[in-house]
A = this chain, B = another copy of it.
Amino acid sequence: MGNSADKIKPEVRALRAYTLSPDRARVKINQNENPWDAPARIKAETLRRLEARRWSRYPDFTAASLHARLAEFSGWQTKGIVAGNGSNELIQALLMVTVGPGKRVLICEPTFALYRQITTVLGGEVISLPLTLELSYDTDALQRTVRDLQPDVTIVCSPNNPTGCVLDGRDIRALLESTNGLLVIDEAYHEFAEHSVVTLLPDHENLIVLRTFSKAMALAALRVGYLLAVPGLATEVSKAVLPYNLNAVSQTAAEVAVEMYEDELRPLVRKIITERERLYRELSTIKSLTPVPSLANFIIVKSAIDPKQVFAELLKRNILIRDVSGHPMLSDYFRLSVGTPEENDLLLSALREICG
């Protein structure tokens, strides 16, 4: 008896699951990963700590030791930090404690798809503001919309995925001051912009900052993210974070990465920034391509040739980029992550062949 499908919320049934093509290639520049592996010293030290630990025992209820190290690393207080199974989990927890039917979430699209997906699952309303035609934040419209509509939550990804644009500190301060809702700044790519709004936290109790270990920190395989906010707000968000959400291996790897960041990871971030600037210059010289300036570890490129065709031609040459042409405003664009210098050379020569 009973049709189980009836029990699924209609807004969930209507949703297409967020998926990614399972293509593989030797040059993998489709997910904005750090193109180098996690440094050998970080891997070795993590494995060493891991071998000594009992795997049959639960990890810490909350990742207390990691929280303490993240506090030191970020310059924010331990009680205002929540680590999660990727920043995705923290976006979800935050929306779970704030969004339901009748609640409104403002986002600027195109942006990371998950904000819309989770808001929808929770029965909230998405208010979508387009980027400018140059694919940067429309700061005036954003300011006006926040002031006039007073959304419950506003989420800004800065640098933005998939466009690379940023909302600067002055504009973020202005937003914080004109809303009685929460403002979430997703700093997944902040290391490549060498900028953060963590310094605004002491004066703004409606600010939430999200960060990840999947990009600059080179630990995408391990799924670690963290959220920073005033302690009262962090506590409320953590009620929707499941106990033992962060496994012991990922906690350990993240601690080691933070301890060794200056020596092992920052030099890689510097190389990626240098390569991003070189890629931008070189892409600008290819006839049918127009790269968009980016402060992240990826570049979105306008293409006079159908981007799906560029994607397919590159894949034939063992290079996997990201097809973003299904996003609003991006039907003429593709996205590429900054690879190692050798990978970038391979990419540039392939693109000259295909689009030159």
Interface-forming stretch among A67-75, A172-180, A307-315? A172-180
Q: How far is the CA of A123 from the CA of B98 in the complex (A)?
A: 11
- Contact among B7, B36, B229 with A56 in the assembled complex (CB-CB below 8 Å): B36
Interface-forming stretch among A81-89, A163-171, A288-296, A326-334? A81-89
Smallest CB separation, A24 vs chain B (Å): 11
Asked if B205 and A4 sit within 8 Å, CB to CB, the answer is yes
Chain B residue nearest to A257 (CB atoms) is: B55
Instruction: Determine the chain B residues whose CB is within 8 A of the CB of A8 once the complex forms.
Output: 97-98, 233, 236
Interface residues of A in 68-108 (CB under 8 A from B): 85-86, 88-89, 92, 96-98, 100-101
Asked if B61 and A221 sit within 8 Å, CB to CB, the answer is no
Q: Is A51 an interface residue (CB 8 A)?
A: yes
Asked if A180 and B3 sit within 8 Å, CB to CB, the answer is yes
Instruction: Determine the chain B residues whose CB is within 8 A of the CB of A51 once the complex forms.
Output: 43, 47
Contact bitstring A210-226, B, C-beta under 8 A = 1, else 0 = 00001000111111000
Asked if B249 and A250 sit within 8 Å, CB to CB, the answer is yes
Q: Is A2 an interface residue (CB 8 A)?
A: yes
- Size bin of chain A's contact surface: 35 or more
Q: Is A149 an interface residue (CB 8 A)?
A: no
**Would A236 and B13 be within 8 Å (CB), given that A3-B180, A4-B206, A6-B180 are in contact?**
yes
- Contact among B13, B47, B214, B233 with A47 in the assembled complex (CB-CB below 8 Å): B47
Q: How far is the CA of A38 from the CA of B123 in the complex (A)?
A: 42
Interface-forming stretch among A133-141, A240-248, A276-284? A240-248
Chain B residue nearest to A15 (CB atoms) is: B239
Chain B residue nearest to A233 (CB atoms) is: B4
Q: Is A28 an interface residue (CB 8 A)?
A: yes
Q: Is A182 an interface residue (CB 8 A)?
A: yes
Smallest CB separation, A139 vs chain B (Å): 18
- A residues sitting closer than 8 Å to B (CB atoms) are 1-9, 12-13, 15, 17-20, 22, 28, 31, 33-38, 42-43, 47, 50-51, 53-59, 61, 85-86, 88-89, 92, 96-98, 100-101, 114, 121-123, 152-153, 177-182, 205-206, 214, 218-223, 229-230, 232-233, 235-236, 238-240, 242-250, 253
